[in-house]
Structure formats: C-alpha cells, structure tokens
Amino acid sequence: MPEPPHRRSFERRTERKLNYSSIPALDRRTQPEGTPEYELQRAQKFSRLKELYVRRKLSKIIDYYEKHNKKIDQKTLNELIENLGSAADKLLGARLVKARDLAERDELTGLLTVKKFESLVKMYLYEQPHGTFFFLDVNNLKRINDEKGHVLGDAYLETLADAMTDLAKKYNLTVARIGGDEFAMYSTQPDLNNSHCDMLIEELRASFKSRWSARKLPYDADFASGYATRDEVETITRKDADYKSMKDLADARMYKNKAEMKSTKSGKKR
C-alpha cells in the first residue's frame, strides 16, 4: 500500500491552505484580556482553528487513498482524527504562544510592551486595593547613539532591562519598556511607602551602574525616576485611580527629577 505523503511537506502545504481569515479576531475592546469572557472567546477561536486544521488535513489524506483505490476503515479513520487533533494542538498552541509573545514582549529588551503593561495594570487596579507606578527615563542614550552608534545604545537599554528583570523577580514587580528610552514598573505590594520606593529605585540604579561599568566606557549609567501610589493619586484627584492618572503623576515627577539631575548632578528623587 502506498505510503501517505511526507508528513512535513504535507503539513506545510496544508498550513498554507488554512483560511484563518474565516476566524474572527479577538476583540480586546469589548472583552479585555484576562477576563473570563476573553478566555472563553480565545478558547472558542482555538477550537475552530483546530477543527479547520483537522478537516483540511483529513480531506487530503482521504483524497490520497481514494486516488490509489484504497479504503480507510473506521478504526483507521478514528486514529487519524485523534492523531491530527494532537498535531493541531501542538502546532496551533505553539503558534498562539509565539504570536502572543511577539505581541506582548518588546523585541529588543524582552520586557513587556506598553499595551500588555497597561492591560495588566488596569487588571491590578480592578483587583487590588493598593499599587505603585514607577516611571523611568534613561540618561545619556542620545549621546551614546550619536558618539558610538545604536548598537551600543541598544546594549545600554538591554543592560537596564536586565537589571529591571532581576529586580522584578526579587520584589514581584511588573516591568515594561513603554517608549524608546522610557520604562515602567508596577507593584501591588500594600505596604510600599516612600522609603521603600526610594530603596527600590536606588537598588535598581546600583545594579544598572554595576552592570554597565564592566564595559569601561566614558558614559555614566543612570536614569531619572518618579513614582505615584494609588492612594495619593486618589487623594489628589478625589477620583478612583486609573492607569492614566497614575502614569501622569509618576511621569510628572520623573521629569521633575530629570530637571533636578541636570541642574545639580546629584540624582535626587521625586
């Protein structure tokens, strides 16, 4: 009995014929990510993609056997369906994970993108009574890019991102790159007062400087910073804190800190 087409080439041909456009896209505006409704919608989409994948491949296999005047008994057919289902789970699952990672992670630093970060912070604000928003802006990036090129400038950003990642693991922070030279962190710790926030900033600064100093280049590794707690935002605005109000206050304090650093070179906070 003739062997079925080579599995790998067959999968490639079948993948190209999958009509993914027939599956509606997930709407994060009506169903925010992380909600039960969103997860249900995502599961339904995966189920439809799997069904489409199995049907297309099974149809090709049946056509192949019919072309050679061979019949498939029910037992073999059931085994084919089961095997194709497992293959679909593996293939589509890997694709969805890869697509999600590409959408949620900054390509250069591996930190969260601004969209994913904003989505998580909004979820934290809904679920947690406490929160602190940190806003960071790296210093000297333009000078490094102009004098040494963007390759070294990218390495400069990656060095800060690595320090932020380690800090996030230690203190359970959510960290992201939200712009070219702008970064953010969010903590849901309930007892995070100003002293604790200052300590976190200084620990991050020390780690950044230590990692960067190993390159022995004439550029000081540093950043301006500002932070805002949920409680003080609500006290100032007399409204429930949201992503924008917390970001805006932390951003304003960061710019104040940057001006102080330029005028005094002392790196004061807030």
Distance CA 72, CA 83 (A): 15
Specify whether 76 is located in the same domain as 122: no
Specify whether 143 is located in the same domain as 49: no
Specify whether 144 is located in the same domain as 256: yes
Boundary-marking domain end, from 60, 75, 104: 104
Q: Looking at the predicted structure, is the pLDDT value of residue 177 above 90?
A: yes
Specify whether 170 is located in the same domain as 250: yes
> Which pLDDT belongs to residue 81?
74
And the tokens for 40?
């249900």
Specify whether 42 is located in the same domain as 119: no
Mean pLDDT of the chain, nearest integer: 80
> Which pLDDT belongs to residue 40?
59
Boundary-marking domain end, from 104, 127, 148: 104
Q: Are 80 and 4 in contact (CB under 8 A)?
A: no
Of 89-98, 118-127, 195-204, 247-256, the range with the lowest mean pLDDT is: 89-98
Token pair 């602190």 in the structure block, residue? 132
Host domain of residue 57: 7-104
> Could you give the number of structural domains in the chain?
2
> Which pLDDT belongs to residue 217?
80
Q: Which residue has the higher pLDDT, 8 or 91?
A: 91
Specify whether 211 is located in the same domain as 88: no
CATH number of the domain where residue 259 is located: 3.30.70.270
Of 12-21, 36-45, 69-78, 231-240, the range with the lowest mean pLDDT is: 12-21
Q: Which of 184, 264, 164, 265 is nearest to 220 (CA)?
A: 265
Specify whether 27 is located in the same domain as 141: no
> Which pLDDT belongs to residue 3?
45
pLDDT band at 22 (very low <50, low <70, confident <90, very high): very low
Angle at the Cα of 266 from the Cα atoms of 265 and 270, rounded to 5 degrees: 110
Q: Are 49 and 93 in contact (CB under 8 A)?
A: no
Question: Is 252 contained in some domain?
Answer: yes
Percentage with pLDDT > 70 across the chain: 73
Specify whether 70 is located in the same domain as 140: no
Beta bridge partners of residue 137, listed in sequence order: 182, 224
Q: Are 227 and 250 in contact (CB under 8 A)?
A: yes
> Which pLDDT belongs to residue 117?
94
pLDDT band at 23 (very low <50, low <70, confident <90, very high): very low
Q: Please compute the mean of the pLDDT values over residues 181-208 and round it to a whole number.
A: 94
Specify whether 155 is located in the same domain as 213: yes
Specify whether 95 is located in the same domain as 127: no
